[in-house]
Amino acid sequence: MTAADAVRPAREHSLPVFVVAASAFSLPYIASKVVHALQARLGVHGGPIVTDTNTAAFGSPGEIAAAQWGNAGIGVVIALVTVLPLAAWTRRWRRPIAAIPLACIGVSLLALGIVMLVRAIALGLGGVLFAVYLLIWSAMECVAAARVARLAGRTKARDPAIPES
C-alpha cells in the first residue's frame, strides 16, 4: 500500500464536505430573496442600490414579489443540483457528467460576480459585498466540481478503497 492509497479514503470522505459547503452557500441568497419577496422589494442584501425609478420601471409590487420568489426558487434549484452528486445513483455516472452542472453553476456565478464587481466600482452603484459573495460562491462551486470530477463515478468494482453506501 502506497501513501496515496492510504490517503484515498480520506479524500473520498471529503467530497460531501465540499459539496455541502457549496450548496449551503446558496442559503444566504435564498434567504435574501425570500425577505425581498415578502416585502415586494427589488434587490438583494449587499447588492446594488435600487432607486424608486428602478422599482417603478419594473412593475407592480405583485410582479416584484413574484420575481423575487422566482429568484429564491432558482437558489433552491442551485442548492439541490449542487448536492446531486452525493446521491448514490449518481455514482454510476461518468466523472465529467457528474461535475458539469456544478462547473456550469460556478462559471455562471463567476461571470455574474465579475460583472457586478465591475459595475459596482465603475458606476458607483454599490453592490461590492454581493459581488464578492458571488465570487466566493463561484469558487466553492468550482472546487466542488473539481472534487466531483476527480472522485465521482468510482465504484467498489473499480476502486476497492472506496466504500459502498
The pLDDT of residue 61 is 93
Q: For the chain, give every domain's residue range.
A: 9-151
On the question of pLDDT at 13 being above 90, the answer is: no
Q: What is the CATH number of domain 9-151?
A: 1.20.1440
Query: Buried (b) or exposed (e) across 97-121, using 16+ Cβ within 10 A?
Result: ebbebbbebbeebbebbeebbebbe
pLDDT on residue 155: 47
Residue 105's pLDDT band, with cuts at 50, 70 and 90, is: very high
pLDDT range class, residue 6, cuts 50, 70, 90: low
Question: Looking at residue 161, what is its pLDDT?
Answer: 45
Identity of the highest mean pLDDT range in 53-57, 85-89, 155-159: 53-57
